[in-house]
Amino acid sequence: MLSKDYIVGLTDGEGSFSVYLHPPKGKRSKYTKHYRIEWHYYIKLREDELPLLKKVKKFFGCGNVYFQNENRINHSHCYRFEVSSYRNISQVIIPFFRKNRPQGISRKRDFELFCRIEEIVSRKRGHLSEKQVARIKKLKSQMHI
C-alpha cells in the first residue's frame, strides 16, 4: 500500500491539478446555454510505471488509468491516472490534499487555486453567473505559471 506522503511526493513531481472552462457552444443553442467546467487531477508516468499508477488508483478508490501515446522525439509512451468526476474531485481528491498538502511551490499554488474554483462552483445556485465565470477565468489564468 502506498503512503500518503508518497502520493503527495508523486503528485509534486508528476501530477497536476487542472480546470477547463468551456463556453456555451452557440449563442442560440438550446442544448448548451451555460459554461461547463472540466476537473482534472492526474499523475502521468512512463509506460513501464503502469503498476504504480494502478496502486494510486486503488489508493484513492476512484479515477481511471489511460494509455497516452507520445509522438515527440526522445519521449516514451506513458500512462495517466486521472480523476475528472466533480463528485470524486470534491469528495476524495480535495479533502485528501487539504490534509496532505503538496510541498512543491507550483503544485501548492495550483491546488489552492483549484480549491478556490471548486468553492465558487459548490456555492452556486443554478448555473454560473457572469461574475462567477469571470472570477473562475481569473483564477484559472494564475494556474500552471
Q: Write down the CATH number for the domain with range 4-141.
A: 3.10.28.10
Grid cell at residue 64: 481511471
The C-alpha cell 509512451 sits at 77
For residue 72, is pLDDT > 80? no
Q: What is the CA radius of gyration of the chain?
A: 17
Beta-strand pair 15-22/64-68: unpaired
Give the Cα separation of 50 and 7 in Å (integer): 15
Question: Which pLDDT score, from 0 to 100, does residue 4 have?
Answer: 98
Question: Which pLDDT score, from 0 to 100, does residue 76 have?
Answer: 78
**Spans of all domains in the chain:** 4-141
pTM for this prediction: 0.89
- What is the per-residue pLDDT across 75-114, written as a single tens digit (0 to 9) for each? 778 999 999 999 999 999 999 999 999 999 999 999 999 9
